[in-house]
């Protein structure tokens, strides 16, 4: 395998990956290893911490790609009950026998809303299993006075989300002595850097801007479909259960699961070249500005009737009341609407495309052949059906569109509402 000077391989002082790692270490206070994508970092972590055949507690309201990474690592996904208000793991609703059967817990921190990491840390310590944090959506979120990603034995970040680089990830570890071993595992999984894909990466934002400028979105999608790059016509990608069963029989094996794991990011395991790394570095340097704007947009969206289930706006605090904690700088703000598809269509008519929908939950999508179902699936189903994840950077346009279209807020979720911070408050 050809290994160039950049990427996972070259953590030399002064090299581009090293600079990215130092920036992230400064933010998190932990050792960080650059990886070409969050999903590859997660695969490395799962392979390092979990024995093949192990069972991993995870959220069913999650990107399908993450589900397939767990399968690729030779592990059995175990779907957790969720708090319907923020899709965090409902720790108390996980039965004791499930706790006793696990090899690891994988959090999602969906849209940037933190899971209850301090309690999960305690539960994992009590069970003697690792906590792995998926912080892809939560690069600026805090929980229990620490950044999300600073609680787990390992945590993974995507530099495609808030950072907006459309490439790159970070694997962060509590024990700095593990760095070498993890780098080695990662290095073996890399495919060589290809100049054509580096160039495609560099010109892509200009091509996208041209498509937007010329209002050619439909034509561009048709072309992508023809080129076989449009793999998700629906919210979930096609499962293809027979082919998936063959891949699972070969696990742990990333290559066997490649058709599922690569979706939306075909370069996910390709060594990053200089051009890619330079763009990621420029974007990462501007992260604090992006986070400030996301926080402001999140606060605005949460103050609307759609900000909380039942339509009670979070709103600014009344005089004399205890000030509300600052909102998290969410990657997407899950608004709660009665008819999600109608609301998404209303936004689409105004050019606002809603992505990052995870409906149905993974246990309903993949079935018992591939995952242990949640013992209490209602919270996840309710969240998946009613949450409309919108970009906080477009908060005003979203609010205007929802008002003009008369979009109705969702009622309260069924059943008693579990504890926890609720949507997006720290
Ligand atoms: C929750 C979550 N985790 C991880 C990832 C993977 O990130 P990356 O695209 O950098 O591999 C995604 C991708 O959208 C995601 O939504």
Distance 158 CA to ligand 1 centre (A): 6
Q: Is the CB of 291 under 6 A from ligand 1?
A: no
Q: Is the CB of 268 under 6 A from ligand 1?
A: yes
Q: Which helix (H) or strand (E) holds 316?
A: none
Q: pLDDT tens digits, residue range 240-283? A: 999 999 999 999 999 999 999 999 999 999 999 999 999 999 99
Ligand 1 site-directed mutation target among 63, 114, 133, 165, most atoms within 8 Å of CB: 63
Distance 136 CA to ligand 1 centre (A): 6
Give the per-residue pLDDT at 3: 33
Domain positions in the chain: 287-404
Distance 65 CA to ligand 1 centre (A): 7
DSSP state letters, 31-85: EEEEES-HHHHHHHHHHHHS-TT-EEEE-SSS-HHHHHHHHHTT-EEEEPPB-TT
Which ranges of the chain have pLDDT less than 50?
A: 1-7, 315-318, 419-421, 424-426
Class of domain 287-404: alpha beta
Distance 420 CA to ligand 1 centre (A): 24
Q: Is the CB of 39 under 6 A from ligand 1?
A: yes
- Ligand 1 atom nearest the C-alpha of 160 is 10
Give the per-residue pLDDT at 1: 34
Give the per-residue pLDDT at 201: 85
Helix pair 195-213, 217-226: axis angle to 10 deg: 150
Give the per-residue pLDDT at 219: 67
Please give the share of the chain, as a percent, with pLDDT higher than 70.
85
Q: pLDDT tens digits, residue range 219-244? A: 666 666 666 655 667 789 999 999 99
Q: Is the CB of 36 under 6 A from ligand 1?
A: no
CA–CA separation, 143 and 139 (whole Å): 12
Pick from 131, 77, 78: nearest CA to 109: 131
Q: Is the CB of 37 under 6 A from ligand 1?
A: yes
CA–CA separation, 270 and 37 (whole Å): 9
């Amino acid at each position: 395998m050809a290994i160039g000077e950049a990427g996972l391989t070259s953590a030399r002082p002064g090299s581009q990956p090293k600079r990215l790692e130092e920036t992230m270490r400064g933010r998190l206070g932990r050792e960080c290893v650059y990886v070409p994508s969050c999903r590859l970092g997660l695969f490395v972590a799962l392979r390092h911490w979990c024995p093949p055949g192990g069972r991993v507690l995870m959220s069913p309201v999650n990107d399908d790609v993450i589900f397939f990474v767990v399968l690729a690592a030779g592990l059995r996904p175990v779907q957790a009950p969720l708090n319907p208000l923020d899709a965090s793991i409902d720790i108390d609703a996980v039965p004791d026998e499930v706790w006793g059967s696990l090899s690891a817990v994988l959090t999602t921190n969906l849209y940037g809303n933190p899971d209850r990491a301090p309690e999960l840390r305690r539960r994992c310590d009590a069970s003697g299993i690792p906590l792995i944090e998926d912080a892809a959506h939560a690069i600026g979120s805090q929980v229990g006075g620490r950044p999300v990603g600073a609680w787990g034995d390992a945590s993974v970040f995507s530099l495609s989300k808030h950072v907006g680089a459309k490439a790159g990830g970070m694997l962060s570890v509590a024990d700095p002595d593990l760095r070498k071993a993890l780098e080695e595992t990662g290095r073996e999984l890399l495919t060589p850097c290809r100049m054509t894909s580096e160039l495609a990466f560099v010109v892509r934002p200009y091509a996208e801007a041209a498509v937007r400028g010329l209002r050619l979105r439909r034509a561009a999608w048709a072309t992508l479909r023809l080129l076989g790059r449009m793999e998700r016509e629906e919210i979930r990608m096609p499962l293809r259960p027979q082919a998936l069963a063959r891949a699972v029989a070969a696990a742990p094996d990333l290559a066997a699961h490649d058709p599922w794991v690569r979706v939306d990011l075909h370069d996910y395991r390709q060594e990053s070249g200089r051009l890619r790394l330079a763009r990621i570095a420029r974007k990462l340097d501007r992260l604090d500005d992006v986070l400030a704007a996301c926080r402001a947009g999140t606060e605005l969206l949460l103050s609307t009737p759609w900000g909380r289930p039942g339509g009670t706006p979070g709103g600014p605090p009344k005089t004399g009341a205890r000030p509300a904690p600052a909102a998290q700088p969410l990657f997407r703000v899950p608004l709660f609407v009665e008819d999600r598809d109608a609301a998404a269509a209303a936004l689409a008519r105004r050019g606002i495309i809603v992505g990052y929908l995870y409906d149905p939950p993974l246990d309903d999508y993949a079935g018992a052949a591939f995952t242990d179902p949640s013992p209490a699936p209602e919270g996840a189903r309710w969240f998946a059906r009613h949450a409309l994840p919108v970009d906080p950077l477009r908060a005003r346009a979203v609010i205007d569109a929802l008002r003009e279209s008369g979009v109705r807020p969702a009622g309260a979720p069924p059943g008693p509402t579990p504890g926890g911070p609720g949507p997006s408050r720290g």
